[in-house]
Amino acid sequence: MALNSKDQAAELLEKIIARVDNHFFGVESAQIKSFIQYFYHAVTPEEILTWGDSVNLYHVAIFYWHWIHQYSPHQPKVQVYNPQLEPVGWQSSYTIVSILVKEQPFLVDSLQMALNRQGLRIHLGIYLTLKTYRDEQGQLVDIFPADSNKLISPESIHAESLIHIARRTPRELSV
């Protein structure tokens, strides 16, 4: 009997978690596994299955794990790129906009409206609110689920958005 998309996505996530155990140890391994589950919880099982195999999904999550490590809450962190295997370890046929910014009301709606005004279609948006604890230099020390009851200051709450935008060809950009 064929598995439904929810079960197939769950199997992929199990493979991703197993890869973490092969590459990371101790506290960092536990943090990464927690981050991966939280990260992919924001994606529908059907979308997870379109992203490819567990290796690609693993590298997407590890890329973001490393990307969020250094951050100053006083300055938004933004990256726009077309992921390729060599530089980032994963690939997509879409242009990716990655944003890490201090949590604010209407953040997601504002981002979507700005992109729509530019005529850019959002293929997939992943919007996470992370509770983080950072040292004075902005280095990530710990990360908690958004519904965590851990007592941390409001300054340590950040929103991270991953937005897929349909790739435009150079010809389309010049019009």
- In tens, the pLDDT along 9-42 reads 999 999 999 999 999 999 999 999 989 988 898 8
For residue 77, what are the β-bridge partners? 100
- In tens, the pLDDT along 83-129 reads 888 888 888 888 888 888 887 778 888 888 888 888 877 878 888 88
Strand residues in the chain grouped as ranges (E): 77-81, 95-102, 122-134, 140-144, 157-165
> Cα(156)–Cα(135) distance, rounded to whole angstroms?
10
First to last CA, the chain: 50
> Cα(18)–Cα(33) distance, rounded to whole angstroms?
9
**Domain around 26:** 5-174
Helix (H, G, I), strand (E, B) or coil at 52: coil
For residue 96, what are the β-bridge partners? 81, 164
Helix (H, G, I), strand (E, B) or coil at 148: coil
Tokens 């530089």, residue located: 87
**What pLDDT does 17 receive?**
94
**What pLDDT does 174 receive?**
47
Model confidence at 133, pLDDT cuts 50, 70, 90, reads confident
Structure tokens at 83: 């992921």
Domains contained in the chain, number: 1
pLDDT, averaged across the chain:
82
Percent of the chain with pLDDT over 90: 23
The whole-model pTM stands at 0.83
**What pLDDT does 42 receive?**
84
